[in-house]
Structure 1
Amino acid sequence: MPNQALFPETFSNRFGRTVGRWWRRAKYQWLKRSLLTDLATAIVLFLAALLLTFALPNTSTKLDSRGEVVLACFLSFLPLLMAICFCYVWSYLKAEAAYEDLRSGKRPVPVSYFKFFLQFPFTSVVLFALLTGVTLAAWGLGDWESAVRTSLIQITTPLPPLTTLLRSVVGEEESPWPGWVSIILSLIYSGVVFALIAAWFERGSQRLNYVASLFTEEDRPPSPYGFRCGTSPDNPQPEPHEQVLLMQADRIGAACLPYLRVELSSTEWNLGPVMPNRCRGAVAVLERVFGENDRGLQAWQTEPLACDFIADWLLKHLNRLVELDRSSPDPKYDYCLAETIGAVAAVLASDPSLRKQPTLTSRGAYHDLDRVNQFRHHLQYVFSIAAKRPALLIAACDAAERLGTPEDLRMLDQQTRRLDVQAGFTTVQTDRILQARDRVLARLWSELMEKRSELMEKLLSRIEDLGMQRLPVPKGKPMQFRRKSDGAIMVLIVAGSFCRGADHAKETSPKRRVHLGSYLIDVEPVSQKSFERWVKNQGGILRVERGFFPVQGLPDDVPQDHPYAIHVTWFAAQAYAQWAVKGGHLPTEAQWEKAARGSVDERRYPSGKDWKEECISPYGVHICHILEWTQDAFNSSAYDNNLVVFDPVMEPSSQFWEETLRVVRGRNPEFNPRDYHLAHRVGMEPITGAFTAPIGFRVAVDLGVEPLT
């Protein structure tokens, strides 16, 4: 509703708004280039055909020969075919109106050879009249000159003054046909014209009413747009009536943009004090229209002037909201600002493939870098204030991802890393932010693999400095490297997030996404032979800061034929990892779980939903054959208390660190696999645990190289 202080509801104001709306409709909808081109073509064709009639013979056909009959039959087929086409156009427009109004579930698809009648209706009607006059002359109903001329004049029957004027100009006083023929032709022409106009008017008025419904108070309940009463605020859903409006937006698409331009160009939506709740329906629809796959680019190509206006209007609207937030921030309106950010990003991200500068033929469809830079400036401000405002941070992440330039992606990386210290973010919200980072990282890694960029060379150089030898692997599989010290194979797991934990037990809940940097991890646990060779070099005793500890359990506990080193103390496992490779360490709990689970789904076993004896994870890691030490100190409430979502690790307290329980992951081969879950975690003493359980280990290395940094 317009602002009552600026636009009081008087008769003159209502009359002025109505006249202004009709003028904008004529300016932006009816005076479109395509419509004017069709009308001009029809007028030129009509006048040219009218002049050519004077060159036709003023004799009539007698139909004395078979050839004349065949010619008349052939010519009759053409207007009949055009009449069928007009019927198809009418039915198509009716079906499209029903589809957009949700009265039909099937989208009508225009047949290719009927598109001419949809794009050039005026020209089609003139051609129809011309062919009808030729057909009547071929059947001997009047001479050729008067029959064609009269048929052309008959299409102006819906406008009697124009018909009278044309007859007087060309000197046509009476029809060359019997009266009943003239009446039938008048009915046919009037029916075609009025039927097409009625169908077009029904579809247009329906779209107009739809757009108008986005701006009325009756279409917004007391709860703000985008929320449903009784729903968690971290996962807002549209109201039922709003879902209907969004469904209609999906079906109407870019066709609603000229109608939105008519409404948004009104001063009632651009003047007065800023009201965050105003125009929220239009903003949500615009994000829907431009944000779906390639529909945004299609909108710029089909409605360039409307898109150009809407991009400018959205930026002005965003600027007003940002200025309001600067002067008086109010978190309850964060979703208004977030929706506008999403809509602007959707509109601007749809046009990078267009020309960089306007041309005579671009008609507003060009990639405006000034608009993008202005929006990026607002985005930087939003990132700076979003530390405690989840809706804004999520919207800014999505917008940066949509823009997709290196500058935007670096901004996304730097700002989302602050999640480690942010309070008040729910699990759903942090998951959305990390998933946005994952999509960006996946796109960058695929580009790095294809282009062998400087960053990829830097990563491979870092691995080579560790003394690693790259191994050949099938295309699409993670890269693998061989370690020189003991010949073990390590796999590269690139930066990204995964879903850690499970909600089936207190120790493993809550389930949430965490982000890990790139790292290497052993494909298999350290073998017994490699560990024995290292033990001989250590003399069987491991010296640490506070004393001497055994490397392994009692000899009677260690089976000599086991393929992996088991009954190993935590200290010995950590010492071996540091010896095996520069920077080596036991994998953190999160690194172990990501290597076992992958980053795509929330599987229970490395092999998926079902247990398989050959437990191989999506990264090709052989896992869950034995229990394994990890780097983390054990705390049953670690997942609840540790809010860090970037490279989380639970460090032990400085006092009595050698007695701190350490997290053990994996599966005891003596237990039934049906009782096992990848998220299962237990705490064991770092020394005595080696005497009581078959615990092994594997080596991991942090690489410290990420695509965004």
Structure 2
Amino acid sequence: MSLLWWLVVVLDLIFAETLCPMSSSDDKEGTSCGCSSLKRDHTKYETSESRPAPMQTPVEGPRAQTGQTSQMVFLQGGEFTMGTDEPVFVADGEAPARRVFLDGFYIDVHEASNAEFQKFVESTGYKTEAETFGDSFVLDSAISEATKSGITQAVAAAPWWLPVKGADWRHPEGPDSNIDDRMDHPVVHVSWNDALAFCKWMKKRLPTEAEWEYACRGGLENRLFPWGNKWNPKGEVRANIWEGEFPSKNTAEDGFIGTAPVTVFHTSKFGLKNMIGNVWEWTNDWWTTQHSNKGVMVDPKGPPQGTDKVKKGGSFMCHKNYCYRYRCAARSQNTPDTTAYNVGVRCASDTLPSDSVLVGNYTAGHKKGNKG
């Protein structure tokens, strides 16, 4: 048998790990929305030296002056409890609770919007990985029948996820969709590599997982959500998640079937919007489920190498009975080139970029006045 024949067989096996023929079955993947099953390539790259390079080199040149500013808050840092001793998903590495000390940092008030990402693309000519690969993962119920008719495969572990040709940040549900009336919604279908390139262009960076969780907790210790443990205190809807029966029906009691504008819903004690729900947010850390709770860790940045990157916050596709990952301690992972309908980005920084506006300075949940 020829070498070419064996190569075709191996590639077919790799591809089959992710995709399978479409089925009408409503079988569910336990208590997961299947987000972590979305991988473009199941070939593992074990070190930072051997992993695939980004499709494009992140933009390093001067940022074009767009006349558009981003809002950031300064979090003064300090010591807090990261993780939990009461994990919902043990395999995700939510435990143990551990003490962490962070230096101060800046973080965006909200997720990057379509309008902000469009400025980046217009200024740089950047092409996302979804555009380069030619497809991305979209929720079955969000796709038009015309687009769906041409799809023959689904994600094996989560058949409500379909690989849609022509789905990208400009066309979230496929080639017959657009973002014309969603410019204030979070950009989606961005890979970790895309998120890194965007943040670098903004003269920012991706937050570490520890920074992200500190920001999410808003100065509260051992609480589930940025505001406490009660989901809708006094009946107030504070985040965008899936309501109804997943994945067949979203009753949209929060007002949104899919993503919501980046500035709606609850403002945390740290002045931040949508830290949970709406879209998953990439962090800079490589994925690991092994954490030490010995002593106090200072500015942890995760392992030096890995195969997947950590994402936090959950999304509009999360439901308590199905993917209860819209908690501050919850976490998930994907390969750096994975793109999907419910994954976006929020940037952080060590210093305040010249065209960003500081709107708050916080420590332990209390505003202290602006810091230049």
Q: What is the TM-score with the length of structure 2 in the denominator?
A: 0.51
Asked whether 1:696 is paired with 2:278, we answer no
Instruction: Give the structure 2 partner of residue 687 of structure 1.
Output: 337
Asked whether 1:610 is paired with 2:230, we answer yes
SS in 2 for 1:663: strand
Question: Which string of whole-angstrom CA distances, capped at 9 and with x for unpartnered residues, describes residues 53-89 of structure 1?
Answer: xxxxxxxxxxxxxxxxxxxxxxxxxxxxxxxxxxxxx
Larger radius of gyration: 1
Instruction: Give the structure 1 partner of residue 42 of structure 2.
Output: none
Asked whether 1:601 is paired with 2:251, we answer no
Shift of 1:617: 2.1
SS in 2 for 1:636: coil
Count of residue pairs brought into register by the alignment: 209
Shift of 1:592: 0.7
Change (3 A) 1:485 1:493: farther
The letter of the residue matching 2:207 is P
Instruction: Give the structure 2 partner of residue 508 of structure 1.
Output: 94
SS in 1 for 2:298: coil
Asked whether 1:492 is paired with 2:78, we answer no
SS in 2 for 1:585: coil
SS in 1 for 2:283: strand
Counterpart CA distance in 1 for 2:311 and 2:134 is: 17
Contact persistence 1:498–1:598 (CA under 8 A): no
- The structure richer in helix per residue is 1
Shift of 1:539: 2.5
Counterpart CA distance in 1 for 2:134 and 2:122 is: 10
Structure 2 runs not aligned, ≥5 long: 1-64, 137-166, 232-236, 239-264, 353-372
Shift of 1:694: 1.2
Counterpart CA distance in 1 for 2:125 and 2:134 is: 9
Counterpart CA distance in 2 for 1:512 and 1:585 is: 25
Instruction: Select the structure with the greater relative contact order (CA < 8 A; seq sep ≥ 6).
Output: 2
Change (3 A) 1:644 1:684: farther
Asked whether 1:541 is paired with 2:156, we answer no
Counterpart CA distance in 1 for 2:298 and 2:132 is: 33
After TM superposition, the structure 1 = structure 2 runs for residues 295-306 of structure 1, keeping only pairs within 5 Å, are: none
Q: Give the share of equivalent positions with the same residue, in percent.
A: 30
RMSD: 3.1
Counterpart CA distance in 1 for 2:94 and 2:108 is: 24
Contact persistence 1:551–1:569 (CA under 8 A): no
- The structure richer in strand per residue is 2
Question: Which string of whole-angstrom CA distances, capped at 9 and with x for unpartnered residues, describes residues 537-586 of structure 1?
Answer: 3334269xxxx9669943343551441111111111111111112xx211
Counterpart CA distance in 2 for 1:617 and 1:513 is: 22
SS in 2 for 1:533: helix
Contact persistence 2:98–2:296 (CA under 8 A): no
Change (3 A) 1:672 1:686: same
The letter of the residue matching 1:628 is E
Change (3 A) 1:641 1:662: farther
Contact persistence 1:518–1:703 (CA under 8 A): no
The letter of the residue matching 2:216 is A
2:202 to 580, 591, 601: 580
Contact persistence 1:540–1:551 (CA under 8 A): no
Counterpart CA distance in 2 for 1:551 and 1:536 is: 20
Structure 1 runs not aligned, ≥5 long: 1-482, 705-709
Instruction: Give the structure 2 partner of residue 620 of structure 1.
Output: 271
After TM superposition, the structure 1 = structure 2 runs for residues 619-658 of structure 1, keeping only pairs within 5 Å, are: 619-622=270-273, 623-624=275-276, 625-637=278-290, 639-640=291-292, 645-653=297-305
Counterpart CA distance in 2 for 1:662 and 1:610 is: 30
2:116 to 527, 530, 549: 530
Contact persistence 2:220–2:226 (CA under 8 A): no
Change (3 A) 1:485 1:666: farther
SS in 2 for 1:645: strand
Change (3 A) 1:516 1:535: same
The letter of the residue matching 1:578 is K
Counterpart CA distance in 1 for 2:293 and 2:77 is: 24
Counterpart CA distance in 2 for 1:552 and 1:538 is: 22
The letter of the residue matching 1:515 is F
The letter of the residue matching 2:297 is V
1:517 to 97, 100, 103: 103
Instruction: Give the structure 2 partner of residue 677 of structure 1.
Output: 327
Contact persistence 1:606–1:615 (CA under 8 A): no
Asked whether 1:564 is paired with 2:186, we answer yes
Question: Which string of whole-angstrom CA distances, capped at 9 and with x for unpartnered residues, describes residues 10-42 of structure 1?
Answer: xxxxxxxxxxxxxxxxxxxxxxxxxxxxxxxxx
